[in-house]
Amino acid sequence: MGIEQILAAIPWEKIIIQTVNGIVTGMILALIASGLTLIFGIMDVVNFAHGELFMLGAYVGVVVIATSGSFWLALIVATLVVALLGAALQITTLRPLLGRDPLTTILATFGISLVLQNYALWQFGPVARKIQEPFTGYFTLFYLEYPWYRLLIAALSAAIIGAFWLFLKYGKYGVWIRATTQDRVMAQAMGIPVPWVHTGAFAIGAGMAAASGVLFGPLVGVNHAMGLDWILKAFIVVVVGGMGSLGGSIAASIFISLLEAYASIWVSPAQAVIVSFVVLILTLLFRPTGLFVPTPK
Amino acid sequence: MEPLVAVEDVHTYYGKSHILHGVSLHVDRGEVVGLLGRNGVGKSTTLKTIMGLVHPNRGKVLFAGSQVTGLPAHKLARLGIGYVPEDRRIFRLLTVMENLRTGLDRHGVSEARKQELLDKVFAYFPVLAERRNQAGGTLSGGEQQMLAIARAMMLEPKIILLDEPTEGLMPRMVSQIRQIIDVLHRDGVAILLVEQNVPLTLEASDRVYIMEKGVVRHHAAASDLKVNDAVIHQYLGV
Amino acid sequence: MSKRSATVYWTGFSIILALLIVAPLVLPEFWRRFVTEILIWGLLAMSSDILIGYTGMVSFGHSAFFGLGMYGAAAALLMIKPPNLWLAIVYGLIGSAAVALFVAYFSTRLRDIYFAITTLIFSQIFYVVIFTWTEVTGGENGLSFRRPPLAIPGLFSVPFTSETLHWFVLAVVTASYLILRRITQSPFGMVLQSIRENEGRTRAIGYAVERYKIAAVMLSGLFAGLAGVLYAIQNRFAAPDFVYFLVSGETVIFNVMGGIGTLVGPIVGAGFFLLLREAFSRFFTEYYLIPVGVIFIAMVIFMPQGLLGFMRRWLNQ
């Protein structure tokens, strides 16, 4: 084939649309994965219940919108409520497990995820609920009417992650979190109340998951099982991005989401997830410490 | 007047290993006390027990007369115990300033006071002022040691636990550490000094304990030991 | 084991075995199936215990092994006429062994948490493949088939009754238990436990730790697949739901509840969990996982040795 024919055969429009879609999904995934990475980095806890915190955030959003009609209020309330719930969970179930085999925290958070999922099923039933977007409105992207809202999601997620990064770098408690992540023992010796830093970090991670839930809500139906797919993707992202690396998980989120978005041009979305699995396998084979972290010397 | 810090008959374990077999010692306000002994006798573990980083199975740890056994390390730091561990353990990915801030950002300390403390520490350690925005991990060994001590000073501690501060340092740095100990002493800060460097310890300390196999075997004024060094030979083989 | 405790052990074993043999004759239909199910899930949990309890590797991949055993059996029962029990078992074991090899190859190079996460993800890979490859696996709806007769070719062939199926399952599970027990007490089993205690030291002594781990995963996968085959035969269908990682999670719950590293514990844990499910379903209908989940979390925190460990300590007092 000649160059022109090859170029004509490439579905440019679809690729650009999928790039935008990939970035939108990638930013939401990045927000979820950041919380997971923060929690893992600071206290070596793999939070199996993270997807459920995402799901509960979406449901709180549903309830707040139903009573007040305001999307933005829903976003704020959901973040705060789930952050508090996260703190409560950490204090009751994870603090007693400090110092034990890390396996026990996986089990405990797995148990929490089961309880939260079924609680949501019990309270809200199996029928999916809808969160209304805060505004409708489209712009024309090639042959599609592309909702502005989707771009807003990406922008807001980026803003939240950016604010979080600034907090870590310059905030007083941000320094505490970074110190505790690096050396829990010396942080204690410096008077930093490490148990509370852990609780705070868990709460922040939970809040970020909840915010993702509300932001993502209008794109899909809100139901009790929505956390499951995301937790899997988030785990993949955390491993591919390098466990404990915030920058790595953000990069990996966008990378994987873009690849999946491109794949959906040719296969069904259900099959496109295989892309993330393949990326994981390749990472494990060739760069097990993470694709986006420098290989340790 | 009760001692500032006292441990009474403390038994500490690491897992199943019985490290401290009933250690008793004390440090009075403003004193410099040395702790000597061969490697592995439990000197570092004694410091960690005082700091609350490990908890004894038996025995008591007292601070200014009150029992603090079992309290978590961050509470002891807030009470006024500073800790400078073996191999320094500064926060490598934090800048020098941020390292200092971990001790500086406490309740009830005014901004003015914080600035005073910073100025003081930068005056003692000018090289830290130069490198204040550099990551801790980029500093040399000697600079990291200074940062570790400076960081502990940010807590305005009543006592600083120093674990082998001169290990691996050049002679010039060793004498700098010696001077810091004097300065802290002048400021009224008590010091519990664990060291392999015997002459330095004897010079700097008021009293010295010698440990062997998890217990204190000998206890004397530093001046006595300078004269009667047979004891030193016996327990340390130097 | 000392002479005395060996006697106690085998006496206890025989009593329980006798009870299980008699069970289908005295219990009503519902409870008969219930006991059979406990045995099957118990076998799955036992296989998982090889990894969790003996080698110290938490795996969330057992749903893949179980599921492939199930689908392997389904393949045999659908493709080969007349449906043959032994071929179903063979196909199922081959299926699960293949999956186990695949998972083992990639995952065993990882430690602890990373291993757990990757086994979970692999489990999901198989789920997605099975769910979407509708032509072969029946997709969402799964496959249904007829139960094969209990047959020895050339000698006899009699369809299973509820009782004989129970006895067959009991025989398979008991045999598996005895085999696994023998293995855990063998030098191989000792090496696995040494890996759990201190992997670095085991490696330093000179053992090829990776090879032992792969062997452990294969062993675990085989028996998990066997459980899948039994389940397929009992229920006459194979569905992707069983490959979803939640099944792996429930398996781990059985292990923890019963007591890891005991082989018997997981069966007890499976029984305990299923009983709790029955009990709570009366009050909470399908939301039984809420109270059961809370109980599980409490057990992780307060009774990490599981029921067996708890009873052991209680008996020692």
Model confidence pLDDT, tens digit, residues C259-314: 888 888 888 889 889 888 888 888 877 788 888 899 999 998 988 888 877 777 77
Percentage with pLDDT > 90 across chain B: 56
Q: What is the pLDDT of residue C115?
A: 83
Omega of the bond prior to C82 within 30 degrees of 0, cis?
A: yes
Count up the domains in chain A and report the number.
1
Q: Does C117 touch chain A (CB under 8 A)?
A: yes
| DSSP state letter for B55 | -
Model confidence at A16: pLDDT above 70: yes
Q: What is the mean pLDDT of chain B?
A: 90
The subunits that touch chain A, with at least 3 C-beta pairs less than 8 Å apart, are: B, C
C300·A119 Cβ contact <8 A? no
Q: Does A272 touch chain C (CB under 8 A)?
A: no
How sure is the predictor about A297, in pLDDT bands with cuts at 50, 70 and 90?
A: very low
* Residue C75, C-beta contacts closer than 8 angstroms, at least 6 positions apart: C91, C95
Model confidence pLDDT, tens digit, residues B174-189: 988 899 999 999 999 9
Alpha carbons A179 and A191: distance in angstroms, whole number: 11
Q: What is the pLDDT of residue B82?
A: 94
Q: Does B83 touch chain A (CB under 8 A)?
A: yes
Q: Which residues in chain A have their CB less than 8 angstroms from residue B155's CB?
A: 190-191
Instruction: Give me the residue from A93, A102, A243 closest to C297, CB to CB.
Output: A93
Model confidence at B238: pLDDT above 70: no
Q: What is the pLDDT of residue A247?
A: 87
Q: What is the pLDDT of residue A7?
A: 74
Percentage with pLDDT > 90 across chain C: 18
Interface A–C counts its CB contacts (< 8 A) at 98
**Closest Cα in chain A to B49:** A189
**Closest Cα in chain B to A185:** B53
Q: What is the pLDDT of residue C288?
A: 84
Model confidence pLDDT, tens digit, residues B103-115: 888 877 888 988 9
A294 within some domain = no
Model confidence at A1: pLDDT above 80: no
Cβ atoms of B48 and B127 within 8 Å: the answer is no
| pTM strictly above 0.90 | no
Q: What is the pLDDT of residue A51?
A: 93
SS3 (DSSP) at C173? helix
Cα C212 to the center of its chain, rounded Å:
20
A128 within some domain = yes
How sure is the predictor about C88, in pLDDT bands with cuts at 50, 70 and 90?
A: confident
Q: Tokens 């879609």 identify what position?
A: A21
Model confidence at A25: pLDDT above 60: yes
Q: Which residues in chain A have their CB less than 8 angstroms from residue B83's CB?
A: 189
Q: Does A293 touch chain B (CB under 8 A)?
A: no
* Residue A248, C-beta contacts closer than 8 angstroms, at least 6 positions apart: A37, A240, A241, A242, A290, A291, A292, A293
Alpha carbons A222 and A215: distance in angstroms, whole number: 11
Domain span at residue A62 reads: 3-286
Which amino acid, one-letter code, is at B88? Answer: R
Q: Does C253 touch chain A (CB under 8 A)?
A: yes
Model confidence at C107: pLDDT above 90: no
- The alpha carbon of residue A28 is apart from the nearest alpha carbon of chain B, in Å, by 28
Alpha carbons A206 and B15: distance in angstroms, whole number: 34
Model confidence pLDDT, tens digit, residues A139-194: 777 777 788 888 888 899 999 999 999 999 888 899 999 999 999 999 999 999 99
The subunits that touch chain C, with at least 3 C-beta pairs less than 8 Å apart, are: A
Mutate to test the interface with B, among A169, A172, A186, A192 (most CBs of B within 10 A): A186
Instruction: Give me the residue from A182, A183, A192 closest to B74, CB to CB.
Output: A192
Q: What is the pLDDT of residue A10?
A: 73
How sure is the predictor about C119, in pLDDT bands with cuts at 50, 70 and 90?
A: confident
Between these two residues, C135 and C195, which has the higher pLDDT value? C195
Angle at A107 between CA A102 and CA A110, to 5 degrees: 130
Instruction: Break chain B into its structural domains and give their ranges.
Output: 5-236
Alpha carbons A117 and B99: distance in angstroms, whole number: 42
Model confidence pLDDT, tens digit, residues B191-232: 999 998 888 898 899 999 999 888 998 898 888 888 877 887
How sure is the predictor about C2, in pLDDT bands with cuts at 50, 70 and 90?
A: low
Fold entry, domain B5-236:
Rossmann fold (3.40.50)
Mutate to test the interface with C, among A39, A47, A89, A107 (most CBs of C within 10 A): A107
CA distances (Å), C238 to each of B184, C62, C88, C133, C241, in order?
75, 16, 13, 14, 9
Instruction: Give backbone dihedrals phi and psi of B69, rounded to 5 degrees, phi first.
Output: -55, 130
Mutate to test the interface with C, among A114, A123, A275 (most CBs of C within 10 A): A114
Which residues 144-203 on chain A approach chain B with CB closer than 8 angstroms? 172, 175-176, 178-179, 182-183, 185-195
Structure ipTM: 0.89
Which residues 47-76 on chain B approach chain A with CB closer than 8 angstroms? 51-53, 72-74
Model confidence pLDDT, tens digit, residues B24-78: 999 999 999 999 998 888 999 999 999 999 999 999 999 998 999 989 999 999 9
CATH classification of the domain holding A224 = 1.10.3470
A186·B91 Cβ contact <8 A? yes
- The alpha carbon of residue A211 is apart from the nearest alpha carbon of chain B, in Å, by 29
DSSP states of C96-150 = HHHHHHHHHHHHTTS-HHHHHHHHHHHHHHHHHHHHH-HHHH-GGG-EE-PPPPE
Cβ atoms of C112 and C77 within 8 Å: the answer is no
The subunits that touch chain B, with at least 3 C-beta pairs less than 8 Å apart, are: A
Model confidence pLDDT, tens digit, residues A253-278: 999 999 999 888 888 877 788 888 88
Instruction: Give backbone dihedrals phi and psi of B167, rounded to 5 degrees, phi first.
Output: -60, 130
SS3 (DSSP) at A251? helix
A291 within some domain = no
B85·A179 Cβ contact <8 A? no
Q: Does A94 touch chain C (CB under 8 A)?
A: no
Q: Which residues in chain A have their CB less than 8 angstroms from residue C114's CB?
A: 239, 243
Q: What is the pLDDT of residue A295?
A: 60
Instruction: Give me the residue from B91, B105, B106 closest to A183, CB to CB.
Output: B91
Model confidence at C27: pLDDT above 90: no
* Residue A197, C-beta contacts closer than 8 angstroms, at least 6 positions apart: A42, A173, A176, A177, A180, A187
Q: Does A284 touch chain C (CB under 8 A)?
A: yes
